[in-house]
Amino acid sequence: MTNSFAEFDSRLKRIDRNRSRLASGYSAKVTSNGLIVFRPKRRDASFSVRGLLYLVAGFLIFKSVILAHLGEVTYAERVGALQSGTVVEQAGAYVMQEEIVTSTIANYLRPYLN
């Protein structure tokens, strides 16, 4: 009796898993015996422009929050300390340099962080 419940439960899990995969897109194919079989579409592991834009925007906001919290002088001192470090620290200093977008966002955020 317990075995039939376990089989039924595993079948329900398999059906739910298949339905969730089909929810993101599917293709239908007719087999040689006339049965229509639905297969989930494989998602392309391609480059996402939207993901890249979110990453850049998030990084700019991160830099702006740090700049607004520390202040321009302290932020410049810390970036200067990174510039005299190893190659990795110099690359970090280059990326963390203050630019127009970062300083503009920081000016908007400064009243909320102090």
Q: Can you give the pLDDT at residue 2?
A: 67
Query: Domain range spanning residue 101?
Result: 49-113
Residue (of 69, 72, 66) closest to 112 by Cα position: 69
Are residue 83 and residue 109 in the same domain, yes or no?
yes
Q: Sorting pLDDT into bands at 50, 70 and 90, what band is 28?
A: confident
Q: Cα(43)–Cα(37) distance, rounded to whole angstroms?
A: 19
Are residue 82 and residue 106 in the same domain, yes or no?
yes
Of 96 and 2, more confident: 96
Are residue 29 and residue 59 in the same domain, yes or no?
no
Are residue 54 and residue 30 in the same domain, yes or no?
no
Identify the helix (H) or strand (E) that includes residue 37: strand 36-40
Residue 21, pLDDT above cutoff 70? yes
Q: Sorting pLDDT into bands at 50, 70 and 90, what band is 26?
A: confident
Beta bridge partners of 28: 38
Are residue 34 and residue 61 in the same domain, yes or no?
no
pTM (2 decimals)?
A: 0.59
- How many distinct structural domains can be found in the chain? 2
Are residue 56 and residue 109 in the same domain, yes or no?
yes
Q: Cα(92)–Cα(1) distance, rounded to whole angstroms?
A: 64
Residue 49, pLDDT above cutoff 60? yes
